[in-house]
Every structure is written in structure tokens, then in C-alpha cells.
Amino acid sequence: MLNVLMIDLGRDYGGAEKVIENLFFYDYSDINMHLVALKDTKFFNVIKSKNNNQNYMFIENDKKKILKSLFKVKKYIEDNKIDIIHAHGVISEIFGVLLSKMTKCKLVTTIHSRADFDTTNKIKGKLYCWIQKYLLNFNERYIVVSDELEKFFINNLNVKKEKLIFIKNGLKDLIKREKQEHENVVICSIGRLTAVKAHNKLLRSLLSLSNDGYDLKCLIAGIGELENELKKQVEEYNLQEKVEFLGFIEDVRDVFDKSDYLIIQSDMEGLPVILLEAMSYKMPIIAYRVGGIKKLLKENQCIELKSNEPADISNGIKQALNKNREELDLIVDEAFLNFKKNYDLSIFIKKHEDLYNEVKGGINE
């Protein structure tokens, strides 16, 4: 039996955490999956509510106690005979490298997105990219979730292709529920409230549409550092009746069931899990096909935005509104077939199992 420990020291709850959930809760035949994460976060609450076994360890959400936590995790690794550490994200990877050195465990890391886009501080973003390039020396492999990320590491960071493995995100079909009736057209945006998601541009487009007489409602689900700033923007634009902030949501169907379209207008994306959820749920998607989305969604599987500038977002929403039910059904059916063929959870799990066994082979040599 192979023992794998995943590490996620992120404080947000987004696509990366959903990927980790899929890996952690899967019923493996020959792998014991373990998890280390921070206490008192949304992810902490989700795991605690779903998990009945004890294959996890939560450490203090306090930077001052990080050294103490490091040695606690080291003991957990030794007590549970962990073979492989699987880190998610830059901070988790730093933690993982230290533990790998202390315990002689093999290390792999999943790169979910580009660090230089994930922070508003461009210097910090570039530093994180440099750190990732350096820390790759201590990893068996880097898992990248899109071919765009793979190209970035090869072309921009001069990483050797053989150190990277491209594994597409995957998930189980979302079970369909009954749609909730609503009067107005409802567009939803689901994701972290951070700069890279470009919610400010979406709000500017909604202001323009409102001024043009369009009676729309937008549901914004998620949490993040820009929440208060975005709420002020809504007040400034006098859109309080048209934009509703839902905060953290655990089940995306709670939003999908009262929405007509999902919109994604990010500056950059890896391979967003929310898009896979929408594809599996046959939710019409309005998307700026940037980063990993270009390969994830074909032109005939979404209403495509020319750019994520407010004028183009507005035009994309207008295009969506002009499509009849038959046209929308054709779009969502194509997206669903794409999901079933390429992004089913079984494919995702199999590729991780193969990688773990490859790394395990190196352990046994």
C-alpha cells in the first residue's frame, strides 16, 4: 500500500482545493491518501464536514508557529510511513521541500496557475515564479494542469519538458437538480474575488448594459481580498438591485440552479474547475478563452468573448441573450460531450495513480 500526503497551505477555497478534494476522497484500491491543511479556513470546514476517517492533520493558521507545525507534520509523516509528498501551490511546495529533506520522502507538486498572475504584486509574482523554477530541483515532477502552463515553464522559465507532466483536471458529473424559477435573466460568476478574475471589468460591463436598458441580474459567488472593493464599486454604479454577492458556496449547483449563464472573464486561467462543473451540468458558458481555457473549451462549446475588456464582455452577454433555446442546447451538449471524453474523474485519477507508482518505482530502486 502506497501512502501519499497532500499539502495545501492556501487560505482561500477555489479550484485547487476542489482538485485536492477529488484526490483525497477517492476510493483507491492501493493508495492511502493523507492531507495536511490549515485550521480555520473554508477548506478546513469542508474537509471536516465530509471526512469520517482520520487521514488528515490540520496545522495552526499562524506564520509564527510554522516551525513548530513543520516538526509536527514530520512526526505525522514518520508515524504514517508516508512515501510521497504531493504539494499544491508555492507556499505548500516550500513546506514540502523542507519535509522531503527531513524525511527522505519523494516530492511532487501541482502547479494550478501562473504565480505571476495570481498576485497583484508583480514583483512578488515574478519572485514566486523564480522560486518554483528553483524548487523544481527538489521535485520528482511538476504536475501542470494545462498545456499553456507547460509552455510557460518550458519557454519562460527554461524548465526541461521531462520534469513536467500535464494532467488535466477532472471531476465526477454533477447530479442534475430542478431549476429554480426566476423572472430576470441571471448570470453567475463563481471564483475567488482576486484581481486576476477581473470582476471589476464585469461590473463595468453590467453598468453599460444597465444603461442600455438590459434587465439582468448577476450573482457573484466567492470570497477574497477584493470583496469590499467590489461591493463599493457596485454601490458607486448603483447596481445594488442587479448584483448580489453570495459569499462562499460549497455546492455550485446552489448557484447554477438559479442562473441562466456562467461567465468567466479572467485575465489568466490554468484549467478552471468551475468550467468543468458547468460543462458537466450543461450550464451555458460565456467565456474569455485565455490560458488553459483555449484548449478546454472549443469555440462551439461556449459564447466566446473577444477580450475581457468591458465592451467585449457586454457584447458577449448580448450575444448570449440573442441565442434561442435550440442554439444554447447545441452549445451545452457539445461542451458536455467534451467533458465526458476528456475530463471525467476516472481519467484524472488514473494519471495520478500512474505518476505515484512511477515515483514509487524510484523509491524502491
Q: State the pLDDT confidence band at 365, using cuts at 50, 70 and 90.
A: very low
- The model's pLDDT over 171-185, given as tens digits with 9 standing for 90+, comes to 988 888 888 888 889
Write out the residue range of the structural domain in which residue 212 sits. Answer: 185-342
Does 99 map to a domain? Answer: yes
Q: How far apart are the first and last CA of the chain?
A: 17
Q: What is the pLDDT of residue 125?
A: 82
Whether 125 and 208 share a structural domain? no
Whether 198 and 284 share a structural domain? yes
CA triplet 174, 169, 22: central angle to 5 degrees?
Answer: 60
C-alpha cell belonging to residue 151: 509552455
Whether 48 and 165 share a structural domain? yes
Does 132 map to a domain? Answer: yes
Whether 76 and 211 share a structural domain? no
Does 177 map to a domain? Answer: no
Whether 191 and 303 share a structural domain? yes
Whether 47 and 123 share a structural domain? yes
- The model's pLDDT over 77-116, given as tens digits with 9 standing for 90+, comes to 999 999 999 999 999 999 999 999 999 999 999 999 888 8
Whether 333 and 349 share a structural domain? no
Whether 8 and 102 share a structural domain? yes
Neighbours of 57 (CB within 10 A): 19
d(C-alpha 344, C-alpha 321), whole Å: 30
Whether 208 and 164 share a structural domain? no
Whether 162 and 190 share a structural domain? no
Domains identified in the chain, total number:
2
Whether 12 and 65 share a structural domain? yes
Which CATH number covers residue 30? Answer: 3.40.50.2000
Residue appearing with cell numbers 519557454: 155
Does 180 map to a domain? Answer: no
